[in-house]
Chains A and B, each alone.
Chain A
């Protein structure tokens, strides 16, 4: 593996982390979808680089699949959802954004600490990229927790998947094609189901605010 490609992968990892923070800070839902698409694009680039370096042809396929799915199809579906449900803004987040960012920094430190001993176990794992992948995952999770509308939560869920995919391809140089196909299909089906759910929630409560779901609790 050349130095250049290593640097490239590190660059993409850094972009991914930046985008994760951007997601955490962003309150406009349309922009969130754009960031998600950008995230997908970064993952595609990173995967292509890995494929080029390691000469694993199937990684090209998975990069192409990711491109179609996560850069075009899913953002398109989400855009349509937003237009049809007419939700452009998220309300006040449950935790204000500056403190979310602070917690996010701690999560990144935690993830890097975690990645260090794991990457020592194997030579093929670079500590930086694995740490960033883990951090992205935790940050997306964090975003799911702090948002009160359903669509940002779905986006958070999808970006967790992005981070996992990045961890699989870039940090450990690929996984079997079957697994990737399976995950891709899962994500697509998940988005459809969540879309249906969102319509249902709105039909029932006339709002997409998930705090309405609290009424479902048994007293």
Chain B
């Protein structure tokens, strides 16, 4: 295996994942075997895959291979280039962490049998890997659909609850509508040649109109998977329904498959690049980002909050991609490389911190049985490991240095600041608004994360049962720690990461950032020039540590030095009660006021004379009532009309076939004449 090409190694490892899955079938109900042995093996395969993919990035090469699978005349083509290798790296690293976590997470005796979960989980991983190395539309779609199906079964692992089945159905529906759009898009891309290999698609020279149609279909199809507004509705339903490791994989990795697909189509397969494509992606991305983050701040279910935060991050990725496409269409390749670097960096950053955060919600859920923020609190005392790891994820997610999120958002803002160079006055007016909304999104993301971390882990427990919460097990700690390490590494070693991103941008837009970024030394990140902007994470962290130490010393020794203990979040009251501390709803209330037009609010206010007053507010999505319900009603109406044909009487059905027969017989003489 060591002498094999990189692609063969990848294929072998993917095959190993499949084998691990099949072994799960053999050990259908042997919980200990599946959890303690098969899942760690899956994680180890992930590690090996990460090494292989990383190696492929450092020594960029592009190897193709045909596998005699599939239909007789339609072989599966696979190829590993730097774009695939980069996403494969992200997939493999995240998968390693999530698999290790799963080894400790899945408990016996609930929902799907452990062996089946093992099958679905590893097939899911394998199909994502196959999506990345597919080199023709046929194998791409096969892998894409098996990814959708396996994730559907994972989402509905606890299928006995009707709510979870509904969420799964919504997910499957939107995934399939998206897949149809992709199929049509590939159909246009092959330009009537009948050859669906990517190599052939690259050669086609489509007219502007058809290229645009293909592009828009691809945006729709991949957007449905990624959760672009207004196709985002499945995300906040599916994530709370799914087991936490599955949410982690879906949000951290599977959404990135859509980003990969769009990058592949927009930058690699489609030849002409038209400037307004970039604008479409940019606007969609910004709307999605703002929408997602505003909704994230008002959620009171921790997994829903994270799901909306994923929508926001996908929006940022789309915006970065759009900006890259815009620069590319004007031939400004170095700036396109900057925007794409920001995009790819954020892909990695989001994959790690969002997986980490979802895993921590899993641990909290297991320890307390609660997802509702209103019934959690104070967990840092009972689950210190989970709390500190969640803090790392939350800080990275808020885009604070020295963690991963900061660098990607900083790079994104840097690339936005260069847009005045664009030769379009209209765009030059639009972009400052976009920049401002990116900044607003980043700030609100921080707000949402403060809410998430604060309400769950800080303050006092809101329910007595929380005091019995236990910390995560060993496997869970290792899994989360691995991902947290990823967040820190991406934050502290940007130049090292850039050497991995470099081959990708070089292959897509012909320009790499790494050489310039390292020009001022390995510790300093200078994406453009030293004068313009630079960031040294190590220097920064030293500065922060120094400042904190100094302040600590100042306060403890010089100022007063007394230690006073009081109830956390007591609000200064002499006697406290855990219900009196700030709640998730209370914390989100200002945002709910400011952005009221975004929401559909169902408020129930008690009357003054009510002796048992109850207050409730349900925040829901306007898109649901405004866009989806009319479609649902239309479909139901048409179905009801068609349903009238179904009388249930055999005589009527026979009459239908009789009339059909008479009609076709009438046609016969006409056809012969």
A interface residues with partner B (beta carbon < 8 Å): 94, 110, 114, 117-118, 121, 134, 138, 141-142, 144-146, 148, 153, 210-211, 213-218
Contacts and interface: CB of A to CB of B under 8 A. Distances in A.
Contact of A94 (B648, B651, B658): B651
B650 interface: yes
A23 B648 CA distance: 26
A100 to B, nearest CB: 12
B661 A141 contact: yes
A114 B669 contact: yes
Contact of B655 (A110, A117, A121, A145): A145
Contacts of B646: 217-218
30 contacts: A94-B651, A110-B662, A110-B665, A114-B665, A114-B666, A114-B669, A117-B669, A117-B672, A117-B673, A118-B669, A138-B661, A138-B662, A141-B654, A141-B658, A141-B661, A142-B658, A144-B654, A145-B655, A210-B649, A210-B650, A210-B651, A211-B649, A213-B648, A213-B649, A214-B647, A214-B648, A215-B648, A217-B646, A217-B647, A218-B646
Nearest to B654: A145
Nearest to B656: A145
B668 interface: yes
B438 to A, nearest CB: 51
A145 B658 contact: yes
Given A110-B662, A144-B654, A118 B668 contact: yes
Contacts of A114: 665-666, 668-669
For B647, B650, B668, B669, the residue with the greatest tally of chain A CB atoms inside 10 Å of its CB is B650
Interface in B619-671: 646-651, 654-655, 658, 661-662, 665-666, 668-669
Contact of A216 (B648, B661, B666, B668): B648
B650 to A, nearest CB: 5
How extensive is the interface on chain B, given as a class? 10 to 19
A110 B669 CA distance: 12
Contact of B648 (A121, A134, A153, A217): A217
Given A117-B673, A134-B665, A145-B651, 4 more contacts: A114-B669, A145-B654, A214-B648, A215-B648
For A145, A210, A214, A218, the residue with the greatest tally of chain B CB atoms inside 10 Å of its CB is A145
Given A114-B665, A121-B672, A214 B654 contact: no
A144 B652 CA distance: 11
A213 B669 contact: no
Contacts of B668: 114, 118
B458 to A, nearest CB: 53
A92 to B, nearest CB: 13
Interface in B296-338: none
Contacts of A118: 668-669, 672
A214 B668 CA distance: 34
Contacts of B661: 138, 141
Contacts of A218: 646
Nearest to A137: B661
B651 A148 contact: yes
Interface string B461-486: 00000000000000000000000000
Contacts of A142: 658
Nearest to A113: B669
A144 B653 CA distance: 11
A211 B651 CA distance: 9
Contacts of B665: 110, 114, 134
Contacts of B672: 117-118, 121
Nearest to A215: B648
Given A114-B668, A114-B669, A117-B672, A153 B658 contact: no
Contact of B649 (A110, A138, A153, A214): A214
A214 B646 CA distance: 10
Contacts of A141: 654, 658, 661
A-B complex: 8 closest residue pairs judged by Cβ atoms: A217-B648, A214-B648, A117-B669, A145-B654, A210-B650, A141-B658, A145-B651, A144-B654
A195 to B, nearest CB: 17
B650 A153 contact: yes
A145 B649 CA distance: 10
B672 to A, nearest CB: 7
A198 B661 CA distance: 26
Contacts of A146: 651
B169 to A, nearest CB: 18
Contacts of A214: 647-649
For A134, A141, A148, the residue with the greatest tally of chain B CB atoms inside 10 Å of its CB is A141
Nearest to A218: B646
A41 B661 CA distance: 27
Nearest to B655: A145
Contacts of A145: 651, 654-655, 658
Given A114-B669, A118-B669, A141-B661, A213 B654 contact: no
A161 to B, nearest CB: 15
